[in-house]
Each structure stands twice: as structure tokens, then as C-alpha cells.
Structure 1
């Protein structure tokens, strides 16, 4: 499959920048993808194809954060209307709305889906008990500027946060105290935990940096050609992808730091990226108002990407591809079908 061109699936429907993305785990119905957008209308899609399923309507401002619980039965969003909302992801109904005193930038479910973590421009982290939504949330105080992203660790006994105050902080869930703080050279842009819970990935400036989730030690940092806003480590931990201000998606070898490949598909800065739970694709969101799905291994048959090997016996050096509508085309690159919502 050498020389095949990366052709992302372009998922339209949003009207303003896409600023956050999150996949569910693999469920009996496949896996799902939620997008947060400044148009105030977070969208749910089938994860492997990008097909639109529904839009969560109720926020009165830009939506900055969005996530799904593990089995994709619940969604959570954080917005500029100073609320975090929890939704029935199967019916689209709003279940809870939690008021804040400033913009909610990031949300995350615990592993069991029973609690919701939020980070806001109040410089406060909160954990809400979804089984007792009327109860006062636990609060974590210490950041001195806007919180950009928050995540539970694997055991949900700690939470991690990054902020415009140029720190990454770790907090104890039980006593709401800070247990560790990491100073960064510039404000971090993103925060992600690997599926096995062993590594936290963050970005700042031109760098993607990796931390051991157990002892908080820096494992390594790798420099990109341009400032990056977001990065995601593949489930295999062999490579990672990142994107930023130059509109490109980069893939780097995790061990050597060597750039493997880069692709330009967006028409604006890349704000968010994450790998699917099976690692077969990654999704990116951009200032251009689209989210795009990219193949991890270009040329494989997966989702809406169809690739058939060349007919060697007939001497045909081109590969034949069949798109989702059944129409057959010919070319040396895998062709993708644009997903309209």
C-alpha cells in the first residue's frame, strides 16, 4: 500500500470551529464520537463512518467540551452559558444541568459513569455525583488561571488538569487536595490519558510531552515543526498524532521521535484529535468547522474506506475502490466518501 494518499472523511454539519472530540468504548453497536463546537450544538456520530446520529440541543452558548461515557449511553458537555449538561445519548434528552460561575471548558466521566468532572474559567475543578445531582459538588482549588482540560486517572482516585497558569496539576479525589504540580514553559493546550491508564499526554508550544500516570515523571517530549494544540497516543503506544496552527496532521514515532508522515486536510488550525478505541482511525476537529476521520494505516478497508488490491493477472496497476453508494472508481489512492449531516 506504499504511496497511497491519505483521504480523510470530512464530516460537515457544524457552522463554527470544532474544539473538542471524544470517542466511546466499543459497544455491541460499534463505537461513537461526540464533537463540541462553538455553534453551541454538540453532535453525536457513528465513530467508524462519521455518520450523523443526532444533535444535543439546549446550550445557549459555544460548547467547549464534550465526552461520552464508556458504553455511549450518556453524554456530557460544557459550555459558555456557564453550565455543564448531562444527556441521554440514546434519546437526546437533557438529564442534568449543573450551573457554574464562568465558562465550562472541559468535562470527563468517571470510569463507572457515576460522577462528572468539570473544569472552568473560574479556575475551579468540580466533581458532581450523578446519582445525587442535587448534592453540592466536590471542589478543587489552586489554579490561578483558566482551566483548559481535566481528566480522571484510570482508578478515578485522582484527577489531572492543565491551565493557562502554565501548570499541570494532580489532585486527590478523596480530600480534594493537590498532590503534585508540574510547571510547563508555556500554557498547555490539551490533556489525554491512554486507554490503559498508564500515560498522560499533553501539549505546549511545539512540543508533545508524555508523563507516567503513576509517579508523574516526564517520560519524554517530542518537538513538531509548528506549534501544536492537541495530541493523541495510539493504543499500541508505538506512535502518536498531533495537530496545530499550520493546519497539518502529523504522525510521529513514539520511541524515536521521528516524523513518520504529515497530511494537510483542514483549512484552519487543528484544535483537537483523538484515536478511536480500536486504533484504526483518528478524528480531528478544526477552526474550519469540520471534523475529519483519518486512517491510521492508509489503504486498509475500514468503515467507509474500501480498498481492493490491483488485478495483477490482467496487468492493471491501479487499485479498484468501491464507495459507500456502490459506485466503482479506479485510482491508486484510497477514495473516501464525504459524510453530510
Structure 2
């Protein structure tokens, strides 16, 4: 049963979509260089009021995420992509972009927030930047090392931080994943659950497991419950006919949704472990 459908929403392809934590706001980003911000009513499964079209980007928008500004209970939308390599912060109440964060020298491919005023960005420039909106800027730059014994990295295609804010995991175009200890400021290990770009990476709700999706058509579950410096047990839990674009956990259950270039979205239930 389709609850809501909209055709010709953007002039170009939609590259990313995000929901606000409460589920009342939805944003989409496209290669038409616009972000569309909509208010959604879950009771009627329909949009409310006028949508806002944001045109401050000068390239494809690759990722979006919502932040809750606890100080005045407002939602903020973070968006990034190709073009000028800036990350924009938009006040959702007014539909006005009020901050442009500079620093990356390559296209922004991934954004992630884990609560509070902090978020991270992953870029084609091989760096991860940590941003704190309270200080209005970048508070840390990390280059996850994907070639052991060197300082070399690879474009950061996906990333996330565990709910405690201690562990960063990044997925790279050379198929690597890197675990990084944020407080200790060091790489813990690099491992390769895929044989092509790691395009999606997410902790399970308990943060015991890591779900990665790759351009090798696979979704892999990696167990993070042991010593993180030792080789990590990984198992292929799902496979598509074409590249995996994203994998997202159900907020409470041990199941996940994946989308693929094979034009399907699939809900997978995992056996209880």
C-alpha cells in the first residue's frame, strides 16, 4: 500500500533523502542543485503547507541530515555535495540557510549526526571533518588510513559515529572500512568487508553490529562486540542484483532496509542472535 507518492518532484535525479528525528520534516537533494524541504503529516500521510526550495548549492546535493537545536527547539538541516564543497546549515522554521561551512577541498559525499550540535562530513578529499555548531566551525580533521603502514587514505563515501560519540567508522571508495577512536585520536583498524566501494555504513540500534553496503551488490554484517583491534567477524547477510546504494536499520528491531541500483528497496529481517 503506497501512502504517499509524488512524481516530478525534482528536475533531476534525487540523490538523497532525510527525515527529521520526529518525522514531521522531509528533505530531498538532487543533481538539479536544489534541496526541497517539506512538512509531512504522518496522520494524513500528506504534505502540509508550501514546500521550500533551497538553491544555495552549486552542484549535486549528495547527503542531508537533520539536527535538533535544543536551545530553541528548532530543526536545522545540514546539506552537502559537489560544487563549492561547502556544507550549508538551514533553519527549517524559516527555510533560510544561515551558515556556509568551508574546509573540504573535495565533494562532500556523506553527512552524519549522532545527537547534540555535532556532526561529521566525509569527502572526496579523503578527510572526515567534525563540526560543532556551537563553535560555528570545524573542530577536528581526520584522514582515515586505508593503506596500512602509510598515511594514505581514500575518498570517504560513507560514515557514521556510534551513539556514545566514541567510535567513528568510515567506508571508502577503495572498499575499505576504518574504525577510528575519536577520543584517543587514532585509527583502530582498517578492514575490507567488500570488494568494491563501501557506499553505506550504519551501526545497529545497540551499536553491537555494523551494517555495510557496497558496489559489490552485497550487504555485510560485522560484529563489533569483541576486541576491536583483532580481525572482526563479518558475514554477507543480503545481496542485490546491482550496486547497493544504502542500508538502514529499523529503529528498534533487528531488521534493515536496503536500496539498490537494481531499482528495488528490500526489507530484510535477521534471525535473532
TM-score of the aligned structures, taking structure 1 as reference length: 0.46
Residue 43 in structure 1 maps to residue 129 in structure 2: yes
- The alpha-carbon deviation at position 80 of structure 1 amounts to 0.9
When residues 5 and 105 of structure 1 are mapped into structure 2, their CA distance, relative to the original with a 3 A threshold, is: closer
The counterpart of 2:184, out of the listed 74, 91, 101, is: 91
Q: Deviations over 1:248-307 (max 9, x none)?
A: xxxxxxxxxxxxxxxxxxxxxxxxxxxxxxxxxxxxxxxxxxxxxxxxxxxxxxxxxxxx
The counterpart of 1:137, out of the listed 219, 229, 234, is: 234
Q: Deviations over 1:104-163 (max 9, x none)?
A: 001001122221110001111111111235243121233011111111111241011111
Contact 1:114/1:129 (8 A) holds in 2: yes
- 2:169 matched residue in structure 1: 76
- 1:163 matched residue in structure 2: 260
Distance in 1, matches of 2:249 and 2:238, equals: 16
The counterpart of 2:207, out of the listed 104, 109, 113, is: 113
Contact 1:123/1:146 (8 A) holds in 2: yes
Higher strand share: 2
- 1:311 matched residue in structure 2: none
The root-mean-square deviation of aligned C-alpha atoms, in Å, is 2.1
Q: How does 1:1-341 map to 2 (within 5 A)?
A: 6-26=96-116, 31-57=117-143, 58-59=145-146, 60-99=153-192, 100-132=194-226, 134-174=231-271
Distance in 2, matches of 1:166 and 1:5, equals: 32
When residues 74 and 92 of structure 1 are mapped into structure 2, their CA distance, relative to the original with a 3 A threshold, is: same
Contact 2:113/2:161 (8 A) holds in 1: yes
Distance in 2, matches of 1:166 and 1:49, equals: 41
- The alpha-carbon deviation at position 172 of structure 1 amounts to 1.7
Contact 2:224/2:232 (8 A) holds in 1: no
Contact 1:54/1:92 (8 A) holds in 2: no
Q: Deviations over 1:32-88 (max 9, x none)?
A: 101111111111111455421212212422111011111211111100121111211
- The alpha-carbon deviation at position 175 of structure 1 amounts to 7.5
Distance in 2, matches of 1:156 and 1:98, equals: 27
- The alpha-carbon deviation at position 25 of structure 1 amounts to 2.0
Distance in 1, matches of 2:207 and 2:266, equals: 23
Where does structure 1 lack aligned partners over 5 or more consecutive residues? 177-341
Distance in 1, matches of 2:115 and 2:96, equals: 25
Where does structure 2 lack aligned partners over 5 or more consecutive residues? 1-93, 147-152
Asked which structure has the greater CA Rg, the reply is 1
Contact 2:211/2:219 (8 A) holds in 1: yes
Runs of 4+ in 1 over 6 A off after TM superposition: none
When residues 146 and 10 of structure 1 are mapped into structure 2, their CA distance, relative to the original with a 3 A threshold, is: same
Distance in 2, matches of 1:43 and 1:33, equals: 8
Distance in 1, matches of 2:186 and 2:107, equals: 24
